[in-house]
Structure 1
Amino acid sequence: MPVSTNTPAPAVSEEVLISFPQPHVLLLTLNRPKSLNALTPQMADDMRRVLNWFEDEPAMWCVVVTGAGRAFCAGADLKAWDRDAQSGRPTEGDAILSNIHGFASISRRESKKPIIAAVNGGSYGGGTEMIMNCDLVVASKDATFALPEVKRGVIAIQGGIPRLVRIAGHQLASEMLLLGKAISADDARNRFGFVNAVVPAADVLPTALAFASQIVANSPDAVQSTKKGLLLTQRHSNEETVAVHVRSPETEATYMGENIKEGLRAFSEKRMPVWQNAGTRAAKL
């Protein structure tokens, strides 16, 4: 679908597919199906550049991330990791900390825009850490989720541990993290609480895109300010969250923007609002 943007999306390799299935919606597909979409350095670089562009592009309001083939993402490419480890390269610590957005540029990204995961089949290691940091998660009935790092002598250290503890609590998080245990899509929804919808495999992407459609039907300014509030609750008490949220750039843009005027005007006129890109300033009378 043609999309009008201020700047074109960056060119990427065949390991990541970019498309625009709906106005204002970016779809990213991890595209190494024969390797269960295990993350390579090339794929990581592609994801970083595209998601950084997405953050800065006003015409993009929401992103859906999925995987080609029978898996969402099998985590890191362990064969490449083994080659690095056997070569005596330095420890991962500095590389992890310098990669501020985490695994696949998602697992620790504090995006001002909604991220939706469409999970088809298996999700392991870093793949599951990505999912933990998405705002909405749709999974196929046969999807499985695991953080099996301890079984390979490594650690789920790209942001998955604190996120899972906040979502599921210490004991349930330990069940995944210390046992390296895989869980079903139903358990991920009903026991652990990080999946929003479990649907037949054929309905995963359509359901995720339906969520995206509902999001972009709302004011992008209000959505981005609300997303900011969601992120702030992870750091602050209720009162501190309100105080910081009120003064945030996203909230100030909402109250100074054209979309708040349009939303109230459309309500009074009993019609659907016509939104502009976030940050569009209201015209002075």
Structure 2
Amino acid sequence: MKWFHCYCLCLLLPWHWAQAEPLQLVDTLASLQPRAGQQPVEAQILLRILQQYPSPYSLVEISRNRAREWTKTAGNACIPWLRKTPTRQRDFLFTVPYMLESAITLVSLPGSHWQAQLEQLSDPTGRLSLQQLLSLHRPPLLGVEMNRSYGEALDGVLQQHKAALYTRSTAGEYVGSMLPMLQKGFVDLMLEYPKIVERHSHGLRYWRLTEAESFNLVHFACSRSAQGEKIVMLLNKAIRTLATQQQYQQLMLQPLAPDERQQGLQYWLQALANPN
């Protein structure tokens, strides 16, 4: 396990901000490191929020499974890049959404023997139903990551078709860790965001799903404790401050397709205004 200690913010802060809470940010934070000289957008967003956080913080590099257990017991820990679900809300306190992702997709290798079947199942808009696909007499083997939520509707489909799923025995060290299983032919298809796949491989085929949410809201999940409540309040203040800045908005929307950005911005702002 590696500890990455970050600088303290030594600014003159208003009194109510000076009563801040030290924060431990835990997860597979190696993804914050630049790739090919470019830091991922979600890492840039995360660091901007931390720069607004009015107290010392430390980054703890551990696996996603261990991060969740750590956050349950540490008292002052948060996990970034997490979708809010009713089940997770029993274990964690969630901030307002600090960013959003485009829709999750079904991913196949170029020239997959499933391509003709997938094209046949696609509707005129290019979308296909995962429910229909997994209900085939001989469905494909679909790779999914354990303990990951793909959205309420998709999670429901996956729950119904466990026999058609391949899941790793432990959570991956990073989002997108199922990709090698697809490339080696251990699974026929996988679920992932295109931008995650593109960081590791190019030329794959992406299929839009009728059950996928148009946009996926991303939160911090924090310790369910008195310390965690204070941290959530302070993170929410930082997020809402940044949300008013056009530069932050443009950074958050950068991974979306140009024709999705205005709709994505309105979706996110509405979620900030109505977090429940």
Q: TM-score range by the shorter chain?
A: under 0.3
Q: Please give the TM-score of this superposition, normalised by the length of structure 2.
A: 0.25
Higher strand residue share: 2
Q: Please give the TM-score of this superposition, normalised by the length of structure 1.
A: 0.24
